[in-house]
Amino acid sequence: MSRIGKAPVELPSGVSVDISGRRIKVTGPKGELEVPVGEGVTVRQEDGALICERASDSPKHRAMHGLTRSLLYNAVRGVTDGFSKTLQIQGVGYRAQMRGGNIEFQVGYSHPVVVEPQEGVEFELPNPTTVVVRGIDKQRVGQVAAEIRAIRPPEPYKGKGIRYEGEQVRRKVGKAG
């Protein structure tokens, strides 16, 4: 039995679940998410928790068991608390500013780079060198944060660029002159 898959997903108050076929709809105070159920996995609601069970011990069913449980847990957590990723901008003259709902980055290119938020994702700028990406879908928040980081990834010589909060960049020594 999968250690991840056999753990029940507790449903906090205010969260409702609608199980219909191979899709599960999770609704909470922050919004609504739909989760696919993996092949060979059945999900049932019992005593305020979701329980995942697999059909057999085949490697595919074992993999789907843990994956389905993790997706359900992330959906429940997303509709109650939400997810966020913080990005730091480092470099002289590197900054970001809000333009309506979009963010405009000045990161060393000859032009500003404008990023529009995807559906279900919002941006916050506490200061010009910090960007916070928020949303209820963990995968979408992480994808948008990765796309922003890809605009100017941190470089190893001076450390300039956009990085995740707490990310360590290994610095290289410059030319021996």
Q: What is the pLDDT of residues 56-114, one digit of tens each?
A: 888 899 889 999 999 999 999 999 999 999 999 999 999 999 998 899 999 999 999 99
Cα three-residue angle 91-151-101, rounded to 5 degrees = 95
Are residues 69 and 88 both part of a single domain? no
Question: Do 51 and 8 form a contact (C-beta atoms < 8 A)?
Answer: yes
Domain harbouring 77, CATH code = 3.90.930.12
Q: Please give the structure tokens belonging to residue 139.
A: 């995968």
Query: Looking at the predicted structure, is the pLDDT value of residue 2 above 80?
Result: no
Domain boundary among 32, 58, 81: 81
How many domains does the structure of the chain reveal? 2
Q: Residue 93: what pLDDT?
A: 92
Q: Is residue 78 classed as helix, strand or coil in its secondary structure?
A: helix
Q: Residue 139: what pLDDT?
A: 95
Tell me the per-residue pLDDT of 115-173, one tens digit each, with 9 for 90 and over. Answer: 999 999 999 999 999 999 999 999 999 999 999 999 999 999 998 999 999 999 999 99
Query: Looking at the predicted structure, is the pLDDT value of residue 55 above 80?
Result: yes
Q: Residue 79: what pLDDT?
A: 95
Q: Residue 177: what pLDDT?
A: 65
Domain carrying residue 105: 83-164
d(CA 70, CA 64): 10
Residue 176, in any domain of the structure: no
Q: What is the arithmetic mean of pLDDT over 9-34?
A: 92
Are residues 69 and 87 both part of a single domain? no
Question: Do 23 and 38 form a contact (C-beta atoms < 8 A)?
Answer: no
Are residues 121 and 67 both part of a single domain? no
Are residues 68 and 14 both part of a single domain? yes
